[in-house]
């Protein structure tokens, strides 16, 4: 009997600073819950902004309402008028207290960056070369501090091909398809074929949990297949990636072996380095480089973008510490590509399509996720006109050390 694979919308723990005394339906409660998958849409943000505006009419000097409306306005595909409103709202915050001065200053900093970009002349032929696509929202894992944003809705194959065609017409060259886990979405193979046929270079980022030989055959034209390995033992593995399967390490090894067996050579292994596996990196490297199929090993510094403060303390490990471990590993494997992706400076690097076609970009802080459009309804030209996008940052990509000039 075939094994039943868990397919969940990975849970995101409530943010540590949620105020649990707020009643459901209170506009301030809706503000703090705006990034939960069922809320993270332009329609929800528009409705929330309208309610915050209404509340502000009654309390025009309320610093919290001003801050919240400025934030939501910036997050919902802002145009010049929206940015001017956010500017005015933040400028009018007089008193300190709630929100914290630091929060207001941070939003001010983000807004100043966006305003300066809005004022700059953009090259008319600008293209978003690298696109990340969280193509489905279901996953067989529930990782600790999964930073992926999710929305509830799921596009169809027809909608996916329409999006691909828009990207190809626009001139995008590189597509990284992830999830959730894209292999849990049935039309993934036809979508990959369609994207490659349209001239895009396509990489697939999967847990590999359901990978089969047949899948690998269908995916033979990928530029890279990205597979995880975060611990040399199930215990260490579970410190980041969790599932009902108690032995993920064996499952992940099985996927790599399958790539070796069929001669699929363009594998990139991803390891999320945290306090929990820092002492295991050498053992992980030994496993990873034992497979001929592995071309690159990318070590991501664990990043608590959506994690609670407690989890962040438990998981975070300094970049310098990871670097020093990797230096030793590089000396052991001088012919191998060992790439480090730091969590810092991740401001506005992404152009990410979500499972409902919505396009988002992120700043580095908590809740700093910005909707810039939806490829089901908008053309790329309309989306890239949004001043929130930082083209220079997107070109750089996730900061990586050694060999590559951009990844993610
Ligand atoms: C956007 S995920 C998509 C693919 C798939 N969901 C997965 O996690 O393997 C891309 C990479 O980000 C990494 N990642 C996920 N959560 C992370 C976190 N909190 N900090 C650093 N890297 C993380 C994963 O290793 C993954 O390979
Ligand atoms: S595999 Fe990826 S999407 Fe799934 S829970 Fe883990 S980090 Fe999140």
Please provide the DSSP assignment of 266-288 as one string.
-EEEEEEE-TTTGGGHHHHHHHH
Q: Which residues are within 8 A (CB) of 376 and not within 5 positions of it... i.e. 6 or more apart?
A: 155, 159, 162, 163, 356, 357
Specify the pLDDT at position 3.
Answer: 63
Give the DSSP letter of residue 246.
S
Write down the pLDDT at residue 65: 95
Which atom of ligand 1 is found nearest the CA of 180?
6
Instruction: Give strand pairing partners of 178.
Output: 134
- For atom 2 of ligand 2, the residue with the nearest CA is 180
Is the distance from CB of 319 to CB of 291 less than 8 angstroms? no
**Alpha-carbon torsion 76, 79, 85, 89, what sign?**
positive
CA of 146 to the centre of ligand 1 (A): 7
Upper half-sphere CA count for residue 162 (Cβ side, 13 Å): 13
User: 145: CA distance to ligand 1 center in Å?
Assistant: 9
Burial tier of 103 (Cβ tally within 10 Å: 0-12, 13-18, 19+): middle
Phi, psi of 403 (to 5 degrees): 65, -45
* Residue 377, CA distances (Å) to 73, 142, 152 in order: 20, 31, 17
Note the pLDDT of residue 404.
42
- Mapping DSSP to helix (H, G, I), strand (E, B) and coil, where does residue 394 land? helix
Q: Please report where in the chains the tokens 């809706």 appear, as a residue.
A: 30
> CA 93 to CA 86: how far, in whole Å?
11
Question: Could you tell me if 223 and 203 are in contact, meaning their C-beta atoms sit under 8 angstroms apart?
Answer: yes
Q: Which residues pair with 281 in a beta bridge?
A: none
What angle do the packed helices 101-119 and 80-91 form, to 10 degrees? 150
Spell out which residues line ligand 2, taking CB within 6 angstroms: 10, 139, 141-143, 146, 148, 179-180, 207, 241
CA 144 to ligand 1: nearest atom: 19
Cα separation, 123 vs 2, whole angstroms: 53
pLDDT for the residue numbered 407: 46
Q: Which structure tokens are listed for 15?
A: 């943010």
Torsion of CA 395, 400, 401, 405, to 10 degrees: -30
CA of 143 to the centre of ligand 2 (A): 5
Instruction: Flag residues of the chain having pLDDT under 50.
Output: 402-408
CA distance 211 to 254: 9
Test site for ligand 2: of 13, 139, 273, most ligand atoms within 8 A of the Cβ: 139
Buried residues in 358-371 as b, exposed as e (16+ CB within 10 A): bbbbbbbebbbbbb
Query: How many angstroms separate the CA atoms of 168 and 162, rounded?
Result: 10
Among all ligands shown, which has an atom nearest to the Cα of 300? 1
Q: Is the CB of 146 under 6 A from ligand 1?
A: yes
Say how many Å lie between the CA of residue 304 and the centre of ligand 1.
Answer: 11
- Write the pLDDT tens digit of every residue in 65-111: 999 999 999 999 999 999 999 999 999 998 767 788 889 999 999 99
pLDDT of residue 405: 38
57 CA to centre of ligand 2 in angstroms: 42
Return the best residue to mutate from 241, 300, 302 for the ligand 2 pocket (most ligand atoms within 8 A of CB): 241
């Amino acid at each position: 009997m075939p094994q039943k694979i868990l397919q969940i919308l990975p849970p995101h723990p409530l943010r540590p600073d949620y105020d649990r005394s707020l009643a459901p339906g209170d506009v301030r409660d809706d503000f703090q819950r705006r990034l939960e998958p069922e809320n993270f849409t332009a329609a929800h943000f528009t409705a929330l902004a309208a309610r915050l505006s209404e509340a502000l009419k009654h309390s025009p000097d309320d610093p919290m309402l001003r801050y919240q409306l400025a934030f939501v306005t910036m997050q919902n595909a802002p145009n010049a008028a929206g940015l001017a409103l956010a500017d005015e709202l933040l400028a009018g915050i007089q008193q300190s207290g709630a929100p914290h001065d630091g929060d207001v200053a941070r939003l001010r900093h983000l807004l100043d960056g966006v305003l300066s970009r809005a004022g700059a002349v953009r090259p008319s032929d600008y293209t978003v070369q690298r696109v990340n696509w969280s193509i489905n929202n279901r996953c067989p894992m529930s990782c600790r501090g999964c930073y992926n944003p999710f929305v509830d809705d799921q596009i169809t194959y027809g909608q996916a091909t329409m999006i691909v065609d828009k990207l190809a017409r626009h001139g995008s060259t590189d597509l990284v398809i992830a999830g959730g886990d894209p292999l849990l979405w049935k039309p993934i193979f036809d979508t990959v074929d369609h994207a490659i046929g349209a001239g895009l270079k396509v990489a697939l980022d999967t847990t590999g949990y359901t990978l089969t030989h047949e899948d690998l055959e269908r995916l033979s034209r990928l530029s890279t297949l990205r597979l995880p390995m975060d611990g040399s033992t199930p215990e260490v593995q579970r410190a980041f990636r969790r599932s009902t399967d108690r032995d993920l390490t064996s499952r992940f090894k099985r996927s790599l072996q399958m790539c070796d067996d069929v001669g699929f050579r363009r594998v990139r292994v991803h390891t999320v380095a945290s306090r929990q596996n820092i002492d295991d990196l050498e053992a992980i490297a030994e496993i990873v480089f034992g497979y001929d199929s592995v071309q690159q090993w990318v070590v991501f510094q664990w990043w608590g973008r959506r994690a609670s403060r407690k989890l962040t303390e438990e998981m975070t490990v300094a970049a310098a510490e990871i670097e020093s471990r990797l230096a030793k590993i590089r000396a052991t494997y001088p012919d191998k590509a060992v790439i480090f992706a730091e969590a810092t400076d991740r401001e506005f690097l992404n152009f990410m399509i979500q499972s409902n076609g919505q396009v988002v970009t992120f700043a580095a802080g908590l809740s700093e996720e910005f909707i810039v459009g939806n490829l089901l309804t908008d053309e790329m030209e309309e989306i890239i006109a949004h001043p929130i996008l930082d083209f220079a940052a997107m070109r750089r990509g996730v900061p990586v050390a050694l060999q590559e000039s951009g990844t993610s």
